[in-house]
Structure 1
Amino acid sequence: MTDKLWGGRFDEDITQDVLDYTLTVDVDVRLVFADLWQDIAHVLMLGAGGIVPGEVARALLGSLLQLWEQNERGELRLRPELEDVHFNIEQMVIEELGREIGGHLQTARSRNDQVSTDTRMYLRRVQLDAVAANLDLIGVLLAFPEEELLAILPGYTHSQAAQPISVAFWKTAHASMLLRDVRRLRDAFGRTDESPLGACALAGTSFPLDRELTARLLGFGRVLSHALDATSARDYLIESAAAFAIGGNTLSRMAEEVVMWSGHEYSLVEVSDAYATGSSIMPQKKNPVVAELARGRAGRTAGTLVQLLTMAKGVTLGYSCDLQEDKPYLWHAIDAYLSTLRITAGQTRGLRFDSARGEELCWDNFSTATELANHLVAERGLAFREAHHVSGALVSALLKRGATLRDTAAGAEILAGLGHPVAEPVLARIFAPRNAVAGYVSPGGTSPASVGAVRDELNEAVAGHAAWLDETRRRIGDAQAAAFDAAREVAGGADLGKALDRILPTLNGGLS
C-alpha cells in the first residue's frame, strides 16, 4: 500500500515523473495563508457542531496556529512529494499530533472545495489590490494643474489629426476608462466572494455542517449553496481574467499614445528619465521602455483569458485535474496587471507635455476646420452639410497653395471666392486651437468648465469606490482577526462555544 494520504486502495505509488507532472506546490505557495485560515475556520465549525470532540478541535487549532506563525516568519516550506498545499498542511498537522488526532482535520471536506475556497480567498485580495491600484492611477490623472485645461494636444481619429483637445481632457478620458475597469473588478469580486466550503467533493456530506459559520469566519459575502456548482465553478476565475485582460488593454492603449507621442515626429510628451533607457549604440536615443512593456504585457492578460476559457470548456461538472491549469496562468496575469498598474502611475506622474508643440500642430493640421462649418451654421444659417462642403473646399484650396489655417488672409480670399466671405480677424479667432478647445462647451466636451464638471463626477465616483474598498477590506480583516482570536482562545483552553459567541457579533456586514 502506498503511504500517500489518499493511498488506501492503491498497491503502488506514483512514479517520480507522474509526481512532477501533477504536483502544484510551486503555484500553491500563494495559497498557504488562505489554506491555514480556512483550516482554522473549518475546525472551529467542526468543534462547534460536535462533529469532532472538543479536545481534538483544541489540539488541531493549536497545531494550525503554530503553522501560521511559522508561515508568517517565512519558515514554512511546502514539500513537493506531498503534491499540493492541502496535503502539505494536513501532513504537517499529522506529523505533530499523530494520525489519531491530526487525521480529523479533513473530516467533512475535500480538496475540491478546499482549492476553490483558497483560490477565491486569494483572488479577493488580488481584486481589492487591483481596485486600489486603479484608484491610485486615476488619482494621478485627475490631479492635473489648472493650466492643463487649455494645454493643447491634437486629437486623433483613424490615427489622423481630428480636432484639438487639452491635456486635461486626455487625462480625464483615461481616468473615465479606468473607472469602468474598477466597476468590472467590483462585479467580479461579487461573484468571487462566495464560499464553496462545505460542498465537499461534489455532493455535500452526511455530517451536519454549518456552512454559514465558516463563510462568516472567512469573511465571505455569501454561501454558494449548490455543492456540485460550488466545486465545479470556474466562471469567477474566467470573469476575473476578463477584467484583468480588459484592464491590461486599457493600460496598453494609454501606453501606445505615450510611446507614439514621445517620438520626434510628434514631440508632444516626454517621459521622465527614470522610466526610459538608452541605446547600446545610438547615444541620442531615449526609449520609453516602460510604456512599451506595458503594451507587451497586456498580451499576458489576454492570453490567460483564452487559456482559462479553453481549459474549462470541455470539463463536465465535478472536479477534473484540467482545472488545476488555471492558477499558473492566472498568477502570471495577476502579476503583469498589478505591476503595470503601479508602474504606469509612477510614469504618469512624470509625464511632461509640450502644449506649444501641440498648438503648433493643430494650426498646421487643419484640425479646427470644423469650427468654420459651425460658424457658418450659427451665424449665417447654412445647413450643416452645406457648411461642411464650404469648409472642405477651403481646406482643399489651402492645401493646393501649400498653405495652412494660419494663412488667414488666403483663407478670407478663398471664402470670398466661394461666396461665403468671412473677415480675416474672425477666421483667426475661429481657427485658433485654444479658442476651439474652450468653445466645446457641451457636456463632456473640451471646455475647461466641461472638463471640470467631468473631473468632479469622476472624483465623486473615486470616493465611492474608495469607501467600498475600505469597508470590504475591513470586513474581511475583521473576519480573519475574529477567527484567529477564537482559535487562540480555544487552543489556550477556553470553551469553543463561548469563544464563538464572543467573536461572531463583531462580524458586522456579514452574509448577504
Structure 2
Amino acid sequence: MTDKLWGGRFDEDITPDVLDYTLTTDVDVRLVFADLWQDIAHVLMLGRREIIPVENARAILGALLGLWERHERGELRLRPELEDVHFNIEQMVIEELGREVGGHMHTARSRNDQVSTDARMYLRRVQLDAVAANLALVDVLLSFPEEDLLAILPGYTHSQAAQPVSVGFWKTAHASMLLRDVRRLRGVFDRTDESALGACALAGTSFPLDRELTARLLGFRGVLSHALDATSARDHLIESAAAFAIGGNNLSRMAEEIVLWSGHEYSLVEVPDAYATGSSIMPQKKNPVVAELTRGRAGRTAGTLVQLLTMAKGVTLGYSCDLQDDKPYLWNAIDTYLSTLRIVAGQTKGLRFNSARGEDLCWDNFSTATELANYLVSDRGLPFREAHHVAGSLVGALLKRGATLRDTAAGAEILAELGHPVDAQTLTGLFAPRNAVTSYTSPGGTSPQSVEAVRAELRQAVEGHAEWLESTRGKLDTAHAATLRAAREIAGGADFAKVLDTVTADLPLTEQR
C-alpha cells in the first residue's frame, strides 16, 4: 500500500519516473510564502468556525508558524518525493504533530483551490513588481534635460525618414506606451485579486466555511464565488502572460530603434560601454548586446502566451493536470520581463544622442518637405492637395539634380519654374529641422511646449499609479501581518473569536464582484 497522503485506494506507489514526470516542487519554491500564509488563514477559519477541534487548530498554527520562521531564515526545503508544495507543508505539520492532529489541516480544502489561490497570491506580487519596474523606467524616460526638447532626430515611417522630432518627443512617446502597460497590469491585477480558497475540489463542501474571512486575511479584494469556476479559471494567468508579452513587445520596439540607430549608417545614439560588448575578432566593434537581447527575449514572453492558450483550450471545467504546466512557462516569462525592464532602465539612463547627426539626416532625407506644403496652404491659400503636389515636384526635381533641401537657391529656382515662387531665405527657414520641430504646437506635437505638456500629463499619471502601488502593497502587508498576529496569539492560547474580530477590524471588507 502506498504511503502517499492520497494513497488510501492504491495498492502500489507511483514509480520514480512517474514521480519525476509529475512533481512540481522545483517550480513550487516560489509559492512557499503563499502556501504557508494560506494554510494559516485556512486553519484560523477552521478553528473560528469550530470545524476542527480548537486545540488541534492551535497546535497546527504553532507548527505552521515554526515553518514560516524556517522559511524566513531560508531553511525550509521542499522534498521532491512529496510531489508539490502543498503536500510538503502538510507532511511537515503531520510529522511534527502526528496525523491525529496535523491531519486536520486539510479539512474542507483541495489542492485544486490551494494551487489556484497560491498562484493568485504570487501573481499579485509579480504584477506589482512589474508596475514598479515600469514606473521606474518611465521616470528615467521623463527625466530628460531641457536641451532634449530641441535635440533633433529623424522620425520614421515605413522605416524611412519622415518628419523631424526631438529626443524629448521620442522619450515621452515610449513613456506613454509603457504607461499603458501599467494600466494593463493594474487591470489584470484586479482580476487576479480574487480568492479561490474554499472552492475545494470543484463543488464546494458541506462544512460551514467562511470564505470571506480567509479572503480578507489573505488580502484579496473579493471572493471568486463559483466553486467550479474558481478551481478551473486560468484566464488570469493567460491575461498576465498577455500583459508580459505586450510589455516585452514594447520594450523590443524601443530596443530595435537603439540597435538600428547605434549603427554607423545612422550614428544617432550610442549606448553606454557597460551595456555593450566587443567582438572576439574585430577590435573596432561596439555591439549593443543589451538592446539586442531585449529584442530577442520578447520571444520568450510571446511564446509563454501561446503556450498557456494552447494548454488551456482543451481542458474542460474542473482541474486537470494539463494546468500544472502553466507555472514553468509563466515563471520564465516573469523573470524575463522583470529583468528586461530593470536592465533597460539602466541602459536608458546612459544613452547619448547625436543631435547634429540627426539634424543632418533630416536635411538630407527631405524630412521637412511638408513645411513647404503647409506654407503654400497658409500663406498662398492653395488647397493642401495642390500644395502637396508642388512640394513633391520640388523634391523630385532636387533629387534629379543630386541636391537636397539645403540647396535653397536651387529650390527657389525650381519653385519659380513651377509657378509658385518662394525666395531662398524663406525656404531656409521653412526647411530648417529645428524650426519644423518648434512649429508643431498642436497637442501631442513636437514643439517644446507640447512635449512639456505631455510630460506633465505623464508625470501626473505616474504619481497616480505610484499612489495605487503603495496603497495596494500596504493592503497586502497589513493582511499578512494581521494573519501572523492572529496565529501567534491564538497559538499562545487566546480566544479565536476575540482575536480574529480584533485583527480583522482594520482589514477591508471583500467586495461583491
Q: What TM-score range do you get, normalising by the shorter chain?
A: over 0.9
Q: Aligned AA for 1:255?
A: A
**Correspondence list, 1:247-326, <5 A:** 247-326=247-326
CA distance in 1, matches of 2:500, 2:432: 71
In the alignment, structure 1 residue 454 sits paired with structure 2 residue 454: yes
Asked if the contact 2:216/2:508 (under 8 Å) is kept, the reply is no
CA distance in 2, matches of 1:316, 1:361: 58
- Partner of 1:225 in structure 2? 225
SS of equivalent to 1:161: strand
- Partner of 1:62 in structure 2? 62
- Partner of 1:190 in structure 2? 190
Q: Aligned AA for 2:361?
A: L
CA distance in 1, matches of 2:118, 2:297: 26
Return the offset for 1:214: 0.1
- Partner of 1:469 in structure 2? 469
C-alpha RMSD over aligned residues: 0.7
Q: Aligned AA for 1:362?
A: C
Alpha-carbon displacement from aligned partner over 1:73-101 (angstroms, at most 9, x marks no partner): 11111000000000000000000000000
CA distance in 1, matches of 2:17, 2:25: 15
Alpha-carbon displacement from aligned partner over 1:462-499 (angstroms, at most 9, x marks no partner): 11111111110000110000000000111111111111
CA distance in 2, matches of 1:20, 1:57: 33
Asked if the contact 1:220/1:511 (under 8 Å) is kept, the reply is no
Distance 1:509 1:282, change over 3 A: farther
Return the offset for 1:354: 0.5
In the alignment, structure 1 residue 403 sits paired with structure 2 residue 400: no
CA distance in 2, matches of 1:218, 1:508: 11
CA distance in 2, matches of 1:483, 1:440: 57
- Partner of 2:484 in structure 1? 484
SS of equivalent to 2:165: strand
Return the offset for 1:511: 3.9
Q: Aligned AA for 2:327?
A: K
- Partner of 1:364 in structure 2? 364
In the alignment, structure 1 residue 137 sits paired with structure 2 residue 137: yes
Alpha-carbon displacement from aligned partner over 1:447-467 (angstroms, at most 9, x marks no partner): 011111111111111111111
Q: Aligned AA for 1:252?
A: S
Asked if the contact 2:164/2:436 (under 8 Å) is kept, the reply is yes
CA distance in 2, matches of 1:134, 1:143: 14
Return the offset for 1:501: 1.4
**Correspondence list, 1:164-175, <5 A:** 164-175=164-175
CA distance in 1, matches of 2:485, 2:341: 35
Asked if the contact 1:116/1:196 (under 8 Å) is kept, the reply is yes
Asked if the contact 1:216/1:511 (under 8 Å) is kept, the reply is no
Q: Aligned AA for 1:124?
A: R
CA distance in 2, matches of 1:492, 1:268: 67
SS of equivalent to 1:380: coil
Return the offset for 1:508: 3.7
- Partner of 1:352 in structure 2? 352
- Partner of 2:415 in structure 1? 415
CA distance in 1, matches of 2:72, 2:404: 67
Q: Provide structure 2 residue ranges, at least 5 long, that are not aligned to the other structure.
A: none
CA distance in 2, matches of 1:388, 1:124: 53
CA distance in 1, matches of 2:259, 2:72: 42
Return the offset for 1:509: 6.6
- Partner of 1:12 in structure 2? 12
In the alignment, structure 1 residue 374 sits paired with structure 2 residue 374: yes
CA distance in 1, matches of 2:431, 2:503: 69
- Partner of 2:394 in structure 1? 394
- Partner of 1:104 in structure 2? 104
CA distance in 1, matches of 2:492, 2:342: 43
CA distance in 2, matches of 1:396, 1:229: 64
Alpha-carbon displacement from aligned partner over 1:226-280 (angstroms, at most 9, x marks no partner): 0000000000000000000000000000000000000000000000001000011
In the alignment, structure 1 residue 504 sits paired with structure 2 residue 494: no
- Partner of 2:76 in structure 1? 76
- Partner of 1:45 in structure 2? 45
CA distance in 1, matches of 2:242, 2:200: 28
Alpha-carbon displacement from aligned partner over 1:321-359 (angstroms, at most 9, x marks no partner): 000000000000000000000000000000000101100
CA distance in 2, matches of 1:52, 1:510: 25
Q: Which moved more, 1:502-511 or 1:104-113?
A: 502-511
Return the offset for 1:225: 0.1
CA distance in 1, matches of 2:225, 2:143: 45
**Correspondence list, 1:20-31, <5 A:** 20-31=20-31
CA distance in 1, matches of 2:510, 2:117: 17
Return the offset for 1:510: 4.9
- Partner of 2:427 in structure 1? 427
CA distance in 1, matches of 2:505, 2:143: 41
CA distance in 1, matches of 2:354, 2:21: 55
Asked if the contact 2:212/2:510 (under 8 Å) is kept, the reply is no
Percent of paired sites with the same residue: 82
Return the offset for 1:112: 0.1
Return the offset for 1:444: 0.6
TM-score by length of 2: 0.99
SS of equivalent to 2:282: coil
CA distance in 2, matches of 1:196, 1:502: 24
Q: Aligned AA for 1:149?
A: L
